[in-house]
Each structure stands twice: as structure tokens, then as C-alpha cells.
């Protein structure tokens, strides 16, 4: 190699290393997007270093971009098949997606490469346990068609309330505002709601949601307003703060919560019972949309299942899973604003009538319209691309524009992605992301936001807010064991 090339190579190497160190700093400061940009620059200078690819994979994992994490980790493994961190990062991303069998293969590789690493051994054991448990559950599961609803086996009237119970009570069959306020107050003081009343709320909401179409039309009369909130993710104290800033849900102050009520935050039971209770109190005071986290596989991994078992019971796990399948998939406000948790579709020409026709009473499938509604994200480029998450797709401004034209709509509002300011306006102003969990997972430092629409013009008025303190229970406190090992 001529001397000039050797010098250039060593200059490149040291430049790439500098970028990696800057990226590591950004990562430590929880600035994951910035870290990804810097690792990308390092890779552009030297794309043959497995460490840069594996580090970028880890940063993608932090942003829940598991599809991109798997791609990067795979590249690290191609560059250096003996690099244990490549398998480790890919395994962790597979785990986060609930792909336990693929994860297991990667952790077995880690163990092979580092036979004496106690950490690798521990993680492999956890993963093996999870896969065994899954196989067992699959083996004993009853096919959908032959399944009885768990609701049929519960009669809350027969559940006694102990005389010493001092919490909120529902008198008779009607959920009142006084009850909801008292319950929220109890929750604020970390007290539980009696199982009898929890059953009453969840069974009542089950009947209510079951009767709704998959796409719900919302009518806001002239001179009235309507508020849309994004992901809350079990952050109960921030939910209370939204109500303090913008008023409690009522006929005159209606809300739509756009999915991902639960998981990650460790007050998910309090959030879901509060939202459900308001809906029981007054169906037109609050509308609820399904998010990708209103599903069994996500709840198993990200904390809701563990929290429900801890605060209520195993029966409630099944009951919530069933009720989540009854949540509508999208809403349209005054025929003009389309609100959905994730985003748009892999094909053009989807009509609102197609969304109404979706048979939603199931766990979300891996592909198709229902999956895309819950999982897709916008992208800055035109056209469509693969999803960073490994599920759904990314769609550009042209896709948004065509969908709006085809359905005579003005705006898409969606959630599903944490944003520094709590919201982001994209696609020539035709698409707004709103996210209502500030300082997400106690570490992202983002603001939360909600959108107020006034009829008739429905111009979006965005309000942002900061996180409020909460009791010292960490996010993911109830999450699956092995996921905590990886965070």
C-alpha cells in the first residue's frame, strides 16, 4: 500500500473513532437520535467496524426501532462473525419484538463465543425459560373458535366488599363522576380499587366497545371543542395533569385517547381503569382507540400483564386482553380529521369503508390493514419504505396526500412515536404526531402534548406540557424478567 493511502486510512480510523466517542456521549445523555446520526457518520468514514454497527443497533433499540436494530446487528455479525455483541444486540431486539425463538438462537451464539461469561449464561437461561413457557402456553391453548369468554365466568354482584374497605364505591349499576373522582384520588395515593368495582367497570366497557364499529365517526357541534391525546403508557400522574390543564372529560369537554394507554409506565392499571370509568360514566365524554400496545404479546413483555397480576388477578389479564380486542381502530372527526394510532397503508386506494369493514375482534395480525393502522410511521422521503420497527411500514407525504384526497379528508392525526416537543407536524402540514407521555420512561426528557380542535374550522391548537413527579416506582417495574436484564 502506498504511504499516502496508509496515512489516509489511519486519519479515517481516528476520525471514525472520534465520531464514535461523540456518539457514545450522546447515547449516555439519552439523546438517541443524535447518537444514531453520529454512529452513521462514523460508519460512512469506516463501514468495516463491527462496533459502530452494533452500537447503532443499541441506539435504535432505545428508540424502539427494532427492525433497524436487527439490520445493524446483522451487519456487525457479517463483518465479524466472532463478535459476541452483534448477536447479543440482535437477540435483544428480537426479544423486544416478542420473537423469542430467534432471540434464543442469538443468545446460544453468545454463549458459544463466551462460554465463561456468567452474564451471557444468565440471559440464555431466562430466554430458554421464556421459550419453554411459550411452547407450553401454545400447547394448552384452545383455538379461538372454541373459546368461551372469560366474562361469562365472572359475576361481580357476588363479590363481597369487606366492611373495612375505605376506597371508592359504585352504588348500584351507575358509574358517577363522584365515584371516578374518588377513585382517581385513591390512585393518586397509591391505593387500589376493590376488585368488585374493577370488574364492574371492565365488564360494562366490554359491552359498550363491542357495539361500536371499527371506525367511529365523532361529531363536534359548531362552537364546541374536542381534545385528542396520544400515548399515555401507564403514566398516571401525567394523565391527571392533562385533566388539570384541560378539564375532566365530560359531554362538553370530550377527549379521544389514541391508543397505548398501558405498558412501560408502572401505573397502567390506574390509567386504564380511569379511562374506562370515564367512558362508563359518559360514553360521549371519552373515545378510545386501540394502539399496538393493546395486545397480548406486548402486554406480556412491557409490563401490563405483570402489573395486572400484581394489582388485580390472573382473570383480569384475560379480561383486559379480550376487551382490548373490542377497541375501535380509528376515528374521524366531523368527516375531516382522521385519527389513528400508527398510520397509513402499504397500498393506495384504501377507503374509510374498508376500515369500517375490518373484523377487529382479534389479536393484531402481522400484516394487512389492521396491522398497518396500529404500527406504521411517517417518513420524510416520498413513497413507502420498510418500517424501522420491523412491523408495518414507513409512508411519505404523497401517500398521506392521496389518502386524504381519496376520502375527502383534511388531516391525519397519529401518535405512536415519542417526540421531543410532544408533537411534530409533517407531510406539508397534513400529518400531526401527538404523544402525551412526557419524559417517557423517566429518561427521554421529552414534553407531552395534546391537540384541541374547535368546530367548525377544526384548526389544530397544540398544547405542550412537562412531566410531573410520581411515586418512586420505576418504569417497567412489572415488565418481563429478561427484558429488565437488557434495559
The residues annotated with a catalytic role in the active site are 293
> If DSSP codes are grouped into helix, strand and coil, which group holds residue 394?
strand
The CA angle 156-158-163, to the nearest 5 degrees, is 100
Residue 14's CB: how many other CB atoms inside 10 A? 12
> If DSSP codes are grouped into helix, strand and coil, which group holds residue 339?
strand
Contact 481, 456 (CB under 8 A): no
Lookup: cell for 21? 466517542
Going across the sheet that includes 377-378, the strands are 377-378, 393-395, 384-386
The Cα 1–Cα 295 span in angstroms is 57
Residues contacting 359, CB < 8 A, separation 6+:
214
**Which residues share a beta bridge with 339?**
331, 413
Lookup: cell for 152? 361469562
Rounded to the nearest 10 degrees, the angle between the axes of helix 268-281 and helix 236-246 is 40
* Side-chain-side CA neighbours of residue 123 (13 Å): 28
Amino acid at each position: 500500500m502506498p504511504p499516502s493511502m496508509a496515512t489516509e486510512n489511519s486519519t479515517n480510523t481516528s476520525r471514525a473513532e472520534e465520531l464514535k466517542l461523540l456518539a457514545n456521549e450522546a447515547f449516555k445523555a439519552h439523546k438517541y437520535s443524535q447518537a444514531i446520526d453520529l454512529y452513521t457518520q462514523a460508519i460512512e468514514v469506516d463501514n468495516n467496524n463491527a462496533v459502530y454497527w452494533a452500537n447503532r443497533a443499541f441506539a435504535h433499540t432505545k428508540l424502539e426501532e427494532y427492525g433497524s436494530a436487527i439490520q445493524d446487528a446483522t451487519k456487525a455479525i457479517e463483518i465479524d462473525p466472532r463478535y459476541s455483541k452483534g448477536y447479543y444486540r440482535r437477540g435483544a431486539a428480537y426479544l423486544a419484538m416478542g420473537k423469542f425463538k430467534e432471540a434464543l438462537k442469538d443468545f446460544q451464539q453468545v454463549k458459544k463465543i463466551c462460554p465463561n461469561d456468567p452474564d451471557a449464561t444468565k440471559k440464555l437461561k431466562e430466554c430458554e425459560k421464556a421459550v419453554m413457557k411459550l411452547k407450553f402456553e401454545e400447547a394448552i391453548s384452545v383455538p379461538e373458535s372454541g373459546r368461551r369468554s372469560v366474562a361469562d365466568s365472572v359475576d361481580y354482584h357476588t363479590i363481597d366488599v369487606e366492611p373495612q374497605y375505605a376506597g371508592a364505591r359504585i352504588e348500584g349499576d351507575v358509574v358517577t363522576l363522584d365515584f371516578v373522582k374518588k377513585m382517581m384520588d385513591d390512585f393518586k395515593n397509591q391505593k387500589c380499587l376493590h376488585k368488585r368495582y374493577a370488574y364492574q367497570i371492565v365488564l360494562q366497557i366490554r359491552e359498550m366497545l363491542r357495539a361500536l364499529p371499527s371506525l367511529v365517526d365523532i361529531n363536534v357541534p359548531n362552537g364546541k371543542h374536542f381534545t385528542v391525546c396520544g400515548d399515555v403508557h401507564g403514566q398516571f400522574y401525567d394523565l391527571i395533569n392533562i385533566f388539570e390543564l384541560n378539564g375532566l372529560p365530560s359531554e362538553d369537554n370530550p377527549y379521544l385517547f389514541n391508543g397505548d394507554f398501558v405498558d412501560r409506565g408502572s401505573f397502567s392499571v390506574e390509567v386504564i381503569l380511569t379511562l374506562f370509568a370515564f367512558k362508563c360514566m359518559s360514553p360521549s365524554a371519552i373515545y378510545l382507540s386501540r394502539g399496538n400496545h393493546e395486545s397480548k404479546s406486548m402486554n406480556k413483555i412491557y409490563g401490563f400483564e405483570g402489573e395486572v397480576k400484581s394489582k388485580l388477578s390472573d382473570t383480569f389479564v384475560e379480561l383486559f386482553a379480550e376487551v382490548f380486542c373490542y377497541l375501535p381502530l380509528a376515528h374521524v372527526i366531523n368527516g375531516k380529521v382522521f385519527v389513528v394510532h400508527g398510520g397509513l397503508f402499504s397500498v393506495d386506494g384504501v377507503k374509510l369503508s374498508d376500515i369500517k369493514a375490518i373484523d377487529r375482534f382479534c389479536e393484531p395480525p402481522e400484516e394487512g390493514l389492521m396491522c398497518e393502522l396500529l404500527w406504521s410511521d411517517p417518513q420524510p422521503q416520498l413513497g413507502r419504505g420498510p418500517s424501522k420497527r420491523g412491523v408495518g411500514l414507513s409512508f411519505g407525504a404523497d401517500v398521506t396526500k392521496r389518502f386524504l384526497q381519496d376520502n375527502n379528508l383534511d388531516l391525519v392525526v397519529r401518535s405512536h412515536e415519542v417526540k421531543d416537543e410532544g408533537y411534530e407536524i409533517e407531510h406539508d402540514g397534513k400529518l400531526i404526531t401527538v404523544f402525551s407521555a412526557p419524559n417517557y420512561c423517566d429518561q427521554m426528557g421529552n414534553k407531552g402534548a395534546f391537540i384541541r380542535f374547535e368546530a367548525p374550522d377544526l384548526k389544530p391548537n397544540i398544547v405542550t406540557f412537562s412531566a410531573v413527579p410520581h411515586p418512586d416506582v420505576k418504569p417497567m417495574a412489572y415488565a418481563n424478567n429478561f427484558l429488565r436484564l437488557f434495559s
